[in-house]
Amino acid sequence: MRLFYKTALTIFFAASAAISAPALAASLAPLKTAIQDVRESINELADVKDSSDDSQKENKKIAAGKDTLRKIIALGEAEALALKNKLKELEIEQLVAADFNFDAEGIHQNLSQMLSYFDAYYESAGKRTDNLTTYEEIRVLAQDIRVWRERVYTPGSQKILSLDLALKNKMILKIGNARFDKIVLDLKKLRNAKLISNAAIEPLLNSALGSRRIAIALDEEITEIILKMLNEYPVILGESKTNGSVHIIPDYRRIENLVGQSFEQIREMYKKFLEINNLVKKMLAG
């Protein structure tokens, strides 16, 4: 049973690491620099307002405004790159393996096209910035970018992040289910050999089974929501059929909440595995 114990520990800690690891930590690193650049430009704009020479103030204000726009665009490009790297991890085969009832290849292509559109939008915004000559033009472009991000970028990006969460949950649940089945089989062999008592182990096993069932039910709800997001509110070349931010963001937050609940149930299941393992060790030692 040492192998049983070591394997349970290994899978438990591996699952815990997968649950707690930040999904976009590496790919989001460029955002820190971009965010700091934007903050510095905003400070520079504030300093311009204190200038005593009106004409000099206006020229500096326009130059600083354009610089702020460029850095905001750079921030958006860094975000889009992080999403592109994330989508690369979600291979078509993984989507199919997740057993989602939709055209996995078509959805993957759709999301790739969406990210290409994001790149094109920011490239166009950068060119528009170069041609701006008044502060009012700068203000209008900044407003355009804000509205575009709310209506197109945010709901589109939430699709990818939601899909990533859903797939991670399926992967960890699959590992937990396989572990549960293996433990049940091992316990059956030990009982048949009359090496352990079933009475003491049964409550722990039933508790683990309860957590497993809840996690499976949560996964089914997560799958239903992600299908709704991908099929009912498609973003094709950046155009949303509805005001996507109204629907997508609450769905994403719901998925975050459900995945958190599912992870907690899987943790509880592994805790029971370890308790069962410790109890079996005592029985075999006695």
Helix (H) or strand (E) holding 187: helix 154-192
- pLDDT, residue 1, reads 42
Q: What is the pLDDT of residues 180-227, one digit of tens each?
A: 999 999 999 998 888 888 888 999 999 999 999 999 999 999 988 888
Distance in angstroms (rounded) separating the CA atoms of residues 100 and 223? 7
Please choose, from the candidates 266, 186, 175, 267, the residue with its C-alpha nearest in 3D space to the C-alpha of residue 5: 186
- pLDDT, residue 17, reads 38
Q: What is the pLDDT of residues 222-235, one digit of tens each?
A: 988 888 888 765 45
Mean pLDDT of 88-116: 77
For tokens 């610089």, name the residue. 67
* Side chain identity, residue 81: L
pLDDT at residue 124 greater than cutoff 50: yes
Which token pair is 129? Answer: 């910035």
User: Residue 23's pLDDT band (boundaries 50, 70, 90)?
Assistant: very low
Higher pLDDT, 42 or 116: 116
Distance in angstroms (rounded) separating the CA atoms of residues 163 and 160? 5
- pLDDT, residue 60, reads 85
CA distances from 206 to 54, 110, 184, 199, 265 (A): 77, 43, 11, 11, 13
Q: What's the chain's length in residues? A: 286
Kindly report the average pLDDT of the chain as a whole number: 78
Beta strand ranges found along the chain (DSSP E): 235-236, 239-240
Distance in angstroms (rounded) separating the CA atoms of residues 116 and 124? 12
DSSP per-residue codes, 107-169: HHHHHHHHHHHHHHHHHHHHHHHHT--SHHHHHHHHHHHHHHIIIIIHHHHHHHHHHHHHHHH
- pLDDT, residue 99, reads 64
For tokens 């999904």, name the residue. 23
User: Residue 259's pLDDT band (boundaries 50, 70, 90)?
Assistant: very high
Mean pLDDT of 47-70: 74
Helix (H) or strand (E) holding 235: strand 235-236
Going by DSSP bridges, is the β-strand pair 239-240/235-236 parallel, antiparallel, or unpaired?
antiparallel
Distance in angstroms (rounded) separating the CA atoms of residues 90 and 111? 11
User: Residue 89's pLDDT band (boundaries 50, 70, 90)?
Assistant: confident
Collect all residues with Cβ–Cβ distance below 8 Å to 184 and sequence separation of at least 6: 205
- pLDDT, residue 39, reads 54
For tokens 């059956």, name the residue. 188
Distance in angstroms (rounded) separating the CA atoms of residues 223 and 91? 17
